[in-house]
Amino acid sequence: MARKVVNRKELRAQADAAEARGKTKKAAAEKPAKEKKEKAAKEPKKAAPKKPARKKAAKEVRMKAYWGIFTPSLKRLALFEYADKKAAEKKAADLTASSRTQHFVQLVKEAISE
């Protein structure tokens, strides 16, 4: 469906003619209101303060240290308590002597489940 083309120049001329013809009490009363709106439009609007984002409290996870015996491909073979480092090193030396590959001891930290 075709729409009628609006001629903005003609509409503007009609509005100017109507304004020039009749400055009535109503038009005079509207003018201060328009000025207030224009002043309000010129002034920058105050931005609403942003609400602070609620952050989830980080859950503290307790960790426990162990000594682990590993292969060169980082496969864990055994796990010893932290106080038993000598036993872990002895086990790693025995595994190295019995096989062709080197075994080593490394600190391992795991989360404590309660």
State whether 67 and 99 are in the same domain. Answer: yes
Looking at residue 47, what is its pLDDT?
78
Please indicate, yes or no, if residue 2 is contained in any of the structural domains.
Answer: no
Q: What percent of the chain has pLDDT over 90?
A: 42
CA distance 113 to 74: 24
- Residue 3 within a domain: no
> Residue 25: what pLDDT?
42
Structure tokens given for 76: 């864990």
* pLDDT, mean of residues 32-54: 72
Neighbours of 89 (CB within 10 A): 15
User: Structural domain of residue 21, as residue ranges?
Assistant: 10-40
Please tell me the pTM assigned to this model. Answer: 0.48
Q: Is residue 45 part of a domain?
A: no
What is the C-alpha separation between 98 and 64, in angstroms, rounded?
A: 30
Could you give the number of structural domains in the chain?
2
- Is the pLDDT at 91 greater than 50? The verdict is yes
* Pairwise CA distance, residues 36 & 23, whole Å: 19
Which residues neighbour 106 within 8 Å (Cβ) at sequence distance 6 or greater?
67, 68, 70
**In this structure, what are the phi and psi dihedrals at residue 56, rounded to the nearest 5 degrees?**
-75, 135
- Bridge partners, residue 80, by sequence: 67
